[in-house]
Structure 1
């Protein structure tokens, strides 16, 4: 007869099982985008791995961040010989140097940037061609019996691969080949939905709406003539009947969208778009002892932290010198990630670091202001922890991200071309000492946290939902199958216009006929 001790032992042993989410142990093929996009994708992979799913990751042999060996996944490494990292970093360095230069120089660099983006898509399409030309690898992918493909469509080669393998598709997305992904899947009236890069809000004057339309035209041009041809070529070669890359993206089962409407402006959306803004945010962890001691030494004045992201090691020397001199005059302690030349004006209150635990510092009660470049992750983390932002946008979507904070009174933008000792000190003092910035940001934080399900849990649920149901076509609009003239009902309007025109012409012809006949009858009576 079992003893009481055995009953207690088995009861205790079963408790963890009761609180463990059930999992069927699916198989996921991940086709990520490198750089900061991988940081986001890795968080989803970690959670899928923790729930018992098997994960394979396709990576380039010269990957910046994606390691070949990992306890989270098995890697499928594709040899490439066209590294993009050096070209990209050189571009960033040149961009900062000329941001304050002539309009002609700026336009020249913008042209170089668009060429770089086109090259990035072309190189990745070549890599996909290598995969699809390797019969043994294709057979391996087919035999693996994956439940779905998880990819980031900023580079859309994973989308094409999912179509080739006939697998359900989940997007970890904010950007696609033609900018903001929401423009591809949902109605996006240009009268109140600002185009990325336009620097506009959802309240636009007539002039701003015109500007918004022009920016949208540039994005359409880039998609059709600079990015699209690479995908058209690979679709024509490997997909039976060919394909259009935007239609393939629209065909995805679920969009895990890295935004929310605490951060973004309200706009139309679709049932298969799952908003997971801030999914990477977690409660702050204790700081390393040395860093904690430095932070606590600030006393009542608190701490300012500054970082411009992982790709930007340092600002131009003259700007760094002026920023350092401003920091040196402040009573706050400063933690500044700066890998460049050490400024000669640096004060004793400023700690220069190569890396900082950004989330843990933002979550520390001593942190008063976040000086940042406006990357999506940093902005969403600032919202989560309720820390106001002084933003110095540099590239890509950063100005638009910061604009959303500024519009809500939770941050202030200082353009790089305007940064000097006076403007930086004035902007920093405003965000630091005007309570409205902190109060507004903490309000955004409360709104963001007030959700029935944490964003990461939401993302995993819908990914597993696609596994369980072999896709989610019932949530997907069929508009992507329609030609543009049908989508906008131009064919219907032309048909109705033609019918009305024929009807009116018939009436006119009938009246003319009756009038002519009447005149002939009158004339015959007279004669």
Structure 2
């Protein structure tokens, strides 16, 4: 063999080995992510999975409001940023506190419909709708939150759907894979209940579930049906039909250590904490130095999430925070724009408009967290065993706070109840009562103790759905049942009719026997009377 031929064979052999060892190899798939909701607090839950799939060799195309800051191989951003205002730093306390289950869900259905309509004007989605045969995807990842227009594109592509939620399982999300959702012990996400409910709470929870399920069908799906037929063709099946036959898997942002044990079919997957980085991240230099310099008392972290600005809090509550935090022996790291606070921040406080929350919570000097109780924030604090004072505002924050408090790792303080005394008492308990830190440590161990990391679990099951062409066997047969069949109302009707028939038959039989005996007795008496008279 000539040296040239030998060289070519060596090249081919080396290339074969390289391809065989590459992430994904010949099993690499094509994945489309459709995420219309313009809230960073939602997208941070899904983004780690999308990035990890790309790192493993899959081609991942993502429609979202949040393009990557740094390019990533195999990851293509299809940005719809600007099609709808971002939901960040745009709410007041009164606005958030006025949101309850009824108006919140109705707002979600109507606003999400408008968001979908705007997103569908993007050239990529227009081209996909007009010429779906030019595209190929093995699976479509979507967010379950309000309106499901993404299912129309999955239908056009002939691809299965994996639904994801940044919350715990929503009532209209669980039914997509036939997962049981008994309101006797499974609280609706937007209600402030835990698994242990009173009679009144179970009544409200049942009504809340009924409203969520029926409302999503009446307000969400009907309007979406009309919109999909306008944009994707008059021959589009109903959204209910698309959801029923094309949902392979539902991933929910929960874990039983916090949210309680509940039944789960194979197609219902808990991946709570998927977004948490298990490694201690690097802090900005000034923040790191500030925390490193804290004494043995440690430090407190304060953040109320991304929906409102803490410097715009009502004056009584803001002044209570400033007074109590400024008197602490601990240093305080606060997500706040200190230049907009009248009188400035106390000397022991480092304030910034934005802070890398996971990196701060993972710092060994952090002793307590004053939080709004958002689910992502809650899970990050659970992972790093940080006890908390929770000040919930709306949606699932009230439930998260109660769950956290129920497990002895937090104190809940309602916003309008914040005074210097109430805040001081709650923070003093969390900082100085060792049971809070011990319960936080125990809860953290339960939260982290899993067969595999939640991100690894999510990747494996996504690839499973692709390997098995949608894996329809993951779904329960309950998906195809009507509510009459699911709740055994037809069986109950048959049993009731059978029982009624038996009772009626028995009644007729007893009446017949009684009449016969009565007639016979009368006959005997008549004969006896005749004998006497003769």
TM range (shorter): 0.7 to 0.9
Asked if the contact 2:175/2:479 (under 8 Å) is kept, the reply is no
Q: Which 10-residue stretch deviates more, 227-236 or 39-48?
A: 227-236
Query: Shift of the alpha carbon at 1:519?
Result: 4.6
Query: Shift of the alpha carbon at 1:437?
Result: 0.8
1:103 counterpart residue number: none
Give SS of 1:301's match: coil
Match of 1:137 among 117, 128, 133: 128
Asked if the contact 2:140/2:160 (under 8 Å) is kept, the reply is yes
Q: In the TM superposition, what are the counterparts of 1:60-459 in structure 2 within 5 Å?
A: 63=65, 65-66=66-67, 70-71=71-72, 73-76=75-78, 83-85=84-86, 90-92=90-92, 94-95=94-95, 99=97, 106=98, 113-114=104-105, 116-127=107-118, 130=121, 136-154=127-145, 155-175=147-167, 181-182=173-174, 185-220=178-213, 222-234=215-227, 238=233, 240=235, 242-245=237-240, 248=243, 251-282=246-277, 283-314=279-310, 315-318=312-315, 319-339=317-337, 341-344=340-343, 346-459=345-458
Whose relative contact order is higher, 1 or 2, with alpha carbons under 8 Å and at least 6 apart?
Answer: 2
Pair 1:247–1:374, CA change in 2 (3 A): farther
Query: Shift of the alpha carbon at 1:352?
Result: 0.8
Is structure 2 residue 33 aligned with structure 1 residue 30? yes
| 1:262-315 Cα distance to aligned partner (Å, 9 max, x none) | 121111221112211111222112333322221122111111111111222224
- Distance, in Å, in 2 between the alignment partners of 1:134 and 1:279 is 28
TM-score by length of 2: 0.84
Query: Shift of the alpha carbon at 1:74?
Result: 2.5
Query: Shift of the alpha carbon at 1:177?
Result: 11
- Distance, in Å, in 1 between the alignment partners of 2:499 and 2:244 is 39
Asked if the contact 1:328/1:348 (under 8 Å) is kept, the reply is yes
2:461 counterpart residue number: 462
| 1:111-133 Cα distance to aligned partner (Å, 9 max, x none) | 76555323312213424765799
Asked if the contact 1:409/1:437 (under 8 Å) is kept, the reply is yes
Give SS of 2:405's match: helix
Asked if the contact 1:393/1:402 (under 8 Å) is kept, the reply is yes
- Distance, in Å, in 2 between the alignment partners of 1:385 and 1:188 is 30
Q: Which 10-residue stretch deviates more, 381-390 or 512-521?
A: 512-521
TM-score by length of 1: 0.85
Pair 1:202–1:246, CA change in 2 (3 A): farther
| 1:151-205 Cα distance to aligned partner (Å, 9 max, x none) | 1111422234323432111122244996674466422222222222331222222
- Distance, in Å, in 2 between the alignment partners of 1:173 and 1:305 is 27
- Distance, in Å, in 2 between the alignment partners of 1:246 and 1:211 is 30
Asked if the contact 2:151/2:242 (under 8 Å) is kept, the reply is no
Give SS of 2:333's match: strand
- Distance, in Å, in 2 between the alignment partners of 1:287 and 1:29 is 33
Over alpha carbons, which structure has the higher Rg? Answer: 2
- Distance, in Å, in 2 between the alignment partners of 1:112 and 1:518 is 68
- Distance, in Å, in 1 between the alignment partners of 2:385 and 2:375 is 15
Asked if the contact 1:156/1:177 (under 8 Å) is kept, the reply is no
Query: Shift of the alpha carbon at 1:328?
Result: 1.1
Q: Which 10-residue stretch deviates more, 260-269 or 134-143?
A: 134-143
Q: Which 10-residue stretch deviates more, 420-429 or 157-166?
A: 157-166
- Distance, in Å, in 2 between the alignment partners of 1:80 and 1:330 is 42
2:51 counterpart residue number: 46
Q: Which 10-residue stretch deviates more, 414-423 or 204-213?
A: 204-213
Asked if the contact 2:254/2:271 (under 8 Å) is kept, the reply is yes
Q: Unpaired segments of 5 or more residues in structure 2?
A: 4-9, 528-534
Pair 1:515–1:94, CA change in 2 (3 A): closer
Asked if the contact 1:260/1:277 (under 8 Å) is kept, the reply is yes
Pair 1:439–1:176, CA change in 2 (3 A): closer
Give SS of 1:304's match: strand
Query: Shift of the alpha carbon at 1:346?
Result: 2.3
| 1:8-54 Cα distance to aligned partner (Å, 9 max, x none) | xx99x989986966562210011013322222221111101101111
Q: Unpaired segments of 5 or more residues in structure 1?
A: 100-105
Number of aligned residue pairs: 505
Asked if the contact 1:321/1:343 (under 8 Å) is kept, the reply is no
Query: Shift of the alpha carbon at 1:478?
Result: 2.2
Asked if the contact 1:324/1:343 (under 8 Å) is kept, the reply is no
| 1:449-497 Cα distance to aligned partner (Å, 9 max, x none) | 2222111111101111111111111111121221111111101110121
- RMSD (Å), alpha carbons: 3.5
